[in-house]
Amino acid sequence: MTKLSPKALRFIDAAVAESKDARVKAAWNGFDRDPAKELPDTVARAALSVLQKVERRLRRELDSPSLGGGHAADISNDLGFVCAVEDDLRRQLEPGRA
């Protein structure tokens, strides 16, 4: 099972707050977001779902022609972080995935 860093928890908290999916909100908000606790699969699925939406949004922002260099670097860093957390969650949910 996966444990999330405080930064990952904050990213997911923000993504869940923006989500309109009641099931995702219920799963995430029912979890004690303590970095020392492992995520149950239902919570990992909810987190992965919202992070995939964040990833798509960040990729669209990176494609924007009006994006400045400094902001592009920040978005790129956030995107890399989100993708790394998604990979951790997928490894939990898809055993045997390297």
Give how far Cα 57 sits from Cα of 30, 41, 91, Å: 26, 24, 23
CB distance 35 to 5 below 8 Å: yes
Whether 98 maps to a domain, the answer reads no
The pTM is what?
Answer: 0.88
Distance CA 80, CA 73 (A): 11
**What pLDDT is recorded for position 95?**
78
Whether 1 maps to a domain, the answer reads no
Distance CA 90, CA 47 (A): 10
Contacts with 35 (C-beta within 8 Å, 6 or more apart), sequence order: 3, 4, 5, 6, 9
Whether 38 maps to a domain, the answer reads yes
Ranges in the chain, pLDDT < 50 = none
What is the domain count for the chain?
Answer: 1
Contacts with 28 (C-beta within 8 Å, 6 or more apart), sequence order: 12, 13, 16, 43, 46, 47, 50
**What pLDDT is recorded for position 1?**
76
**What pLDDT is recorded for position 64?**
86
Domain that holds residue 45: 6-93
Whether 15 maps to a domain, the answer reads yes
**Two tokens, residue 69:** 């260099």
